[in-house]
Structure 1
Amino acid sequence: MSMSHIFRKSRLAVSCGILGVRISCRFIFTHKMSVKQAEFADTNGFESKTPFLIGVAGGTASGKSTVCQRIMEKLGQQHKEQTERRVVCISQDSFYRTLTPSERLRAERGQFNFDHPDAFDDKKLLTILKDILAGKKVEVPEYDYITNSISNRSHTIYPADVVLIEGILVFYFPEVRELFHMKLFVDTDSDTRLARRVPRDIMERGRDLEQVLNQYMNFVKPAFEEFCLPTKKFADVIIPRGADNLVAIDLIVQHISEYLKKSASDKYRLMYAPLSPSTPTSPHRSGKIGRPH
């Protein structure tokens, strides 16, 4: 039987006492995963690696960036030099497309929908991710939230073992979605997300309260329900309460830690292995298989 006909699916649900944490995992083995892992060659002066690519989706202010930061902190990667990091993080915001003059005027008035798929340059994101998977050093642009434009600055992403890509619509574009080896969805209550977004946009992005609320009601909320929330079904792991869910983050960190310790051939097997808790759960704590409502 050819590799293209081999499929392996597994699910895991963990319920932990009063925390009520449930993590649902689904991993599918396809012919795309039969590519040899971690072939080493000299690319752009750095060791060529095929990284473990993890997508992190969720609504605005759900805690996607914070989840990624927690993962990197627990793995001891936050304060390392860029060239020494084995785990790196990239934001989908770096791939907003350049606005036309009329769109920029609308954006200044808070009348442009930045949460719509058309606001992103998905082709550029796809190209960058393919280069990363090929073990290349890439330049990722920086987005300026004050001017609503891609700045002239960029940051270099060096070949790494694990790459996290976070954004509201990282699972929306099929070609991009298919590249991820693991998909996480940060599932946070809508009231909590709005309460976080308002002060963030006012203090960090120079918006006024009326503009933030109008944009949320007219664009952010409808776009979340139409484009972001439906992609939750593609997630392998759903993280309720975001970065506050320490149990879920610890399980993910454990899985990544095990991956980082393995040899190239072992990494290949672990990349498509189900996530599992470090200790067996007792019968009265075992949850039913499935995702939380």
Structure 2
Amino acid sequence: MQRKPVVIGVAGGSGSGKTSVSKAVFESFNDHSILMIEQDFYYKDQTNLPFEERLKTNYDHPLAFDTELLIDHIEKLLRYETIEKPVYDYNIHTRSKETITVEPKDVIIIEGILILEDERLRDLMDIKLFVDTDADLRIIRRLKRDIQDRGRTMDSVIDQYVNVVRPMHNQFIEPTKRYADIIIPEGGQNHVAIDLMVTKIQTILEQKSLL
């Protein structure tokens, strides 16, 4: 039987700590064959839209993502084929002309707010995680990140959270928790859950003779 990479999905709301969890798992295996695919890279190409229209994009809605391309790329990586991962440019609110060459590996981590929303994508995963963090912590983390790293004002971050992020989280992200095999409270701070996760992945890799 032909070997197949192990696919781990890490979902959760904005500011939940899913990136920290993904990085912690990644770093635990960085001497092995592992790669990370971020859903944020797969926002739809909006080159055909005027800039003013692109500014209205709701980045927390499932339709903002080019899920077809993401599925196609995961399927190629499962066949040990190289892909050209798109790059999204938030300054122009569309896809960059650049791509990133990604070589296939034995472990694939897919990380993003809505990776458990599409059944076809879920079906490609061996393990599905949902990082579950209280809304007050998520908004504080988002405020710090957007003000410090993205030059946003506090008012604009709060306005976006109340009008877009929170309702989209409740409508689309929170319901996908029921598809998770494991729910991790508090994200990257939960070292016990991450250690258990790493052990589980090691077991699967050993079963598949990938270690």
Instruction: Output the TM-score relative to the length of structure 1.
Output: 0.67
Question: What corresponds to 1:178 in structure 2?
Answer: 123
Matching of residue 259 in structure 1 with residue 167 in structure 2 = no
Question: What corresponds to 1:101 in structure 2?
Answer: 49
Q: Which runs of 4+ in 1 moved over 3 A?
A: none
Letter in 2 for 1:101: L
Any idea what the Cα deviations from partners look like across 1:225-267, whole Å, max 9, x if unmatched?
Answer: 000000000000100011111111001111222334x3xxx31
Matching of residue 244 in structure 1 with residue 198 in structure 2 = no
Letter in 1 for 2:39: Q
Question: What corresponds to 2:110 in structure 1?
Answer: 165
Paired residue secondary structure (1:136) = coil
Size of the alignment, in residue pairs? 209
2:5 to 12, 35, 51: 51
- Asked if structure 2 preserves the Cα contact closer than 8 Å seen for 1:56 and 1:184, the reply is yes
Any idea what the Cα deviations from partners look like across 1:31-76, whole Å, max 9, x if unmatched?
Answer: xxxxx441xxxxxxxxxxx21011110000111111111112222x
Question: What corresponds to 1:133 in structure 2?
Answer: 78
Any idea what the Cα deviations from partners look like across 1:112-136, whole Å, max 9, x if unmatched?
Answer: 3110111111111111111111111
1:74 to 8, 15, 28: 28
The structure where strand makes up a greater share of residues is 2
Aligned-residue RMSD, C-alpha: 1.9
Task: Quote the Cα distance in structure 1 between the aligned partners of 2:119 and 2:67.
Answer: 10
- Structure 1: gaps of 5 or more residues: 1-35, 39-49, 271-293
Aligned-pair identity in percent equals 42
Any idea what the Cα deviations from partners look like across 1:265-290, whole Å, max 9, x if unmatched?
Answer: x318x9xxxxxxxxxxxxxxxxxxxx
- Larger Rg computed on CA atoms: 1
Task: Quote the Cα distance in structure 2 between the aligned partners of 1:232 and 1:248.
Answer: 16
Letter in 1 for 2:208: K
- Structure 2: gaps of 5 or more residues: none
Paired residue secondary structure (1:259) = helix
